[in-house]
Amino acid sequence: MTIFTVIWFVVLLACGYIMSSFFAEPFIRIGMFVVGLLAPVGIYRLTLLIIDRCDLLPKCKNKRCSTKRYSLKDRTEEGVYYVCECGDVYLYTMEKHFKLVNKDGMTQPYRIKNGGLWWPAPEEFAKYLAK
- The domain locations on the chain are 3-53, 67-129
Burial of 45-60, coded b for 16+ CB within 10 Å and e otherwise, reads eeeeeeeeeeeebbeb
pLDDT band, residue 7 (cuts 50/70/90): very high
Q: What is the pLDDT of residues 87-121, one digit of tens each?
A: 999 999 998 899 999 988 899 999 988 877 788 88
Please state whether the predicted TM-score (pTM) of the whole model is above 0.85. no
On the 0-12 / 13-18 / 19+ scale of CB atoms within 10 A, 110 is: buried
Residues listed for the chain = 131
**Per-residue pLDDT at 127 exceeds 70:** no
Q: What is the pLDDT of residues 28-86, one digit of tens each?
A: 899 999 999 999 999 988 887 776 667 688 888 888 888 888 899 999 999 999 999 98
